[in-house]
């Protein structure tokens, strides 16, 4: 059953009760990484293994994402500042226990490549927050694998 989440802003990335932050350097330049994140939304399933499908909605103002396992997200893009930041808020999901969720991708040039930082900022019922904290290693692994696959894709 889908439910509507609290409509938080980009500042939630700094104030959320649960903030999971992961970072990795890649060889691709920030412009290419930003393009893959913000402009090639349908391509997410090619490099982020948890994503079954993704498509832009509302002329790019939103996204509809389906994960393996059946979780669905209807999202609003909060920031699309090329080539530095891409962030979105989940508005509607079928995942239980979530009250608010924002994901931010921050891109910083390093050498000839990019430092990719992903912040997963969430609020929810106490059991959800506890499970999310326990899931940190798995989310970190998923992030590393996804960014590595994205870097390979951009190099090819």
Number of compact structural domains in the chain: 1
- Residue 64 is part of which domain span? 3-155
| Contact residues for 13 (Cβ-Cβ < 8 A; gap 6+) | 19, 87, 102, 104, 119, 121
Buried b / exposed e over 64-100, threshold 16 CB at 10 Å, is bbebeeeebbbbbbbbbeebebbbbbbbebebebbeb
| Contact residues for 49 (Cβ-Cβ < 8 A; gap 6+) | 68, 142, 145, 146, 149
3-state secondary structure 33-57: HHHHHHHCHHHHHHHCCCEEEEEEE
pLDDT score of 88:
98
End-to-end CA distance of the chain: 40
CA–centroid distance for 122 within its chain: 12
Whether 98 and 124 have beta carbons less than 8 Å apart is answered as yes
CATH of the domain at 25: 3.30.530.20
pLDDT score of 156:
84
Report pLDDT digits (tens) over 81-134: 999 999 999 999 999 999 999 999 999 999 999 999 999 999 999 999 999 999
pLDDT score of 122:
98
Say if residue 1's pLDDT is above 90. Answer: no
pTM of the model: 0.96
Cα 128 to Cα 139: distance, rounded to the nearest angstrom: 14
């Amino acid at each position: 059953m889908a439910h509507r989440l609290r409509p938080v802003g980009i500042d939630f990335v700094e104030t959320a009760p649960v903030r999971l932050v992961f970072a990795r350097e890649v060889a691709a330049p920030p412009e290419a990484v930003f393009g893959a994140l913000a402009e090639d939304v349908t391509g997410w399933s090619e490099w982020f293994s948890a994503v079954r499908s993704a498509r832009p909605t509302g002329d790019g103002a939103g996204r509809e994402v389906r994960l393996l396992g059946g979780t669905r997200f209807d999202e609003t893009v909060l920031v699309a500042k090329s080539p530095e930041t891409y962030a979105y808020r989940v508005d509607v999901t079928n995942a239980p226990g979530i009250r608010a969720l924002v994901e931010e991708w921050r891109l910083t040039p390093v050498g000839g490549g990019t430092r990719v930082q992903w912040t997963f900022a969430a609020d929810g019922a106490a059991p959800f927050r506890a499970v999310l904290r326990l899931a940190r290693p798995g989310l970190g692994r998923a992030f590393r694998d996804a960014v590595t696959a994205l870097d390979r894709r951009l190099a090819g």
